[in-house]
Amino acid sequence: MHRVLVLDMMDRVLVLDMMEGAIDVDWRDFFPYLKWIPNKSFEINIQQKHFRRMALMNALIKDQMKRIDSGEQVNCYLDYMLIEAKTLTKEQLAMLLWKTIIETSYATLVTTEWVMFQLAKDPTPQDRLYHEKEKEVRKYSPAPLVPLRYVHEDTQIGGYYIPAGSEITVNIYGCNMDNKHWDNPEEWNPERFIDEKYDPLDLHKTMAFGSGKGRVQVLQRQC
């Protein structure tokens, strides 16, 4: 029972709290000229979430360091970082470990839920998908919008001028569901990528979750 409670607490602090914080809205973002007005409840809420996350991550790291000092065999990602990454600060170590936890929990959970929903709604492809179970396909992204990014200096992207001080976001859902580039984008149809017409790596047409050096190829598949 104690173990279950501990796991539930870890899920709340490391995953759920962070996802809630990512979608929390500060009303001052919609009225930049009112930035000078305090929004203590929003700021305190975010600070508390960050404090709980760092406290829990540091506790986990400390516990693992005790295991290593006692002579236990190195057998996990954190063990390797603690031994090899001597130049990392405690905060950097905590954030790297937290990133690994959240990217392998929430995203995988949401992806799996949507796949199961689509299969339950249309059982026809179940046999085919059973034989291709090592492949991951999905229609709904765990992150439909990229969190706001702040522009620090004037820049131009794709012919568009973006002045310093702007806040921008990327509509991933809109990119993936654009009927100018995709036939019947709302239809769950993984076979579309058999056609050379559709290249899942064409970033001008699709914004696959996890693109970049750290992407997981099996999660790159879009339907």
Q: Kindly indicate the confidence band of residue 38, based on its pLDDT and cuts at 50, 70 and 90.
A: confident
Asked whether the predicted pLDDT for residue 14 surpasses 90, the reply is no
Judged by phi (left if over 0) then psi (alpha if -120 to 50, else beta), residue 25 lies in beta
Query: Of the candidates 68, 103, 138, which is a domain's last residue?
Result: 103
Asked whether the predicted pLDDT for residue 131 surpasses 90, the reply is no
- Please indicate, yes or no, if residue 111 is contained in any of the structural domains: no
One domain for residues 40 and 87: yes
- Please indicate, yes or no, if residue 112 is contained in any of the structural domains: no
Asked whether the predicted pLDDT for residue 23 surpasses 90, the reply is no
One domain for residues 75 and 161: no
Asked whether the predicted pLDDT for residue 10 surpasses 50, the reply is yes
Token code pair at residue 139: 């229609």
One domain for residues 144 and 99: no
Structural domain total, the chain? 2
One domain for residues 9 and 70: yes
pLDDT for 154: 92
Q: How many helices (H) and strands (E) does the chain have?
A: 8, 4
pTM (whole model) above 0.75: no
Contact indicator for 148, 168 with CB cutoff of 8 Å: yes
Report how far residue 207's alpha carbon sits from residue 205's, in angstroms, rounded to the nearest whole number: 7
Burial 48-68 (b: 16+ CB within 10 A, else e): ebeebbbebbeebbeebeebe
Query: Of the candidates 40, 71, 103, which is a domain's last residue?
Result: 103
One domain for residues 98 and 129: no
pLDDT for 215: 46
pLDDT of 139-169, one tens digit each? 566 667 777 888 889 998 888 899 998 888 8
Most confident of the ranges 76-90, 95-109, 131-145, 167-181: 167-181
Token code pair at residue 138: 């999905």
pLDDT for 123: 72
Token code pair at residue 160: 């568009």
- Strand-pairing partners, residue 156, are 161
Query: Of the candidates 74, 103, 132, which is a domain's last residue?
Result: 103
- Please indicate, yes or no, if residue 109 is contained in any of the structural domains: no
pLDDT for 163: 93
- Please indicate, yes or no, if residue 115 is contained in any of the structural domains: no
One domain for residues 7 and 87: yes
pLDDT of 39-92, one tens digit each? 888 888 888 888 888 888 888 888 887 877 787 766 777 777 777 767 778 888
One domain for residues 90 and 181: no
- Please indicate, yes or no, if residue 77 is contained in any of the structural domains: yes
One domain for residues 8 and 88: yes
- Please indicate, yes or no, if residue 24 is contained in any of the structural domains: yes
Domain of residue 152, residue span: 124-219
For range 192-207, the mean pLDDT:
64
- Please indicate, yes or no, if residue 113 is contained in any of the structural domains: no
One domain for residues 215 and 128: yes
pLDDT for 208: 57
pLDDT for 161: 93
- Please indicate, yes or no, if residue 153 is contained in any of the structural domains: yes
How confident is the prediction for the chain on average, in pLDDT? 74
For range 110-131, the mean pLDDT:
76
One domain for residues 99 and 137: no
One domain for residues 139 and 205: yes
One domain for residues 89 and 128: no
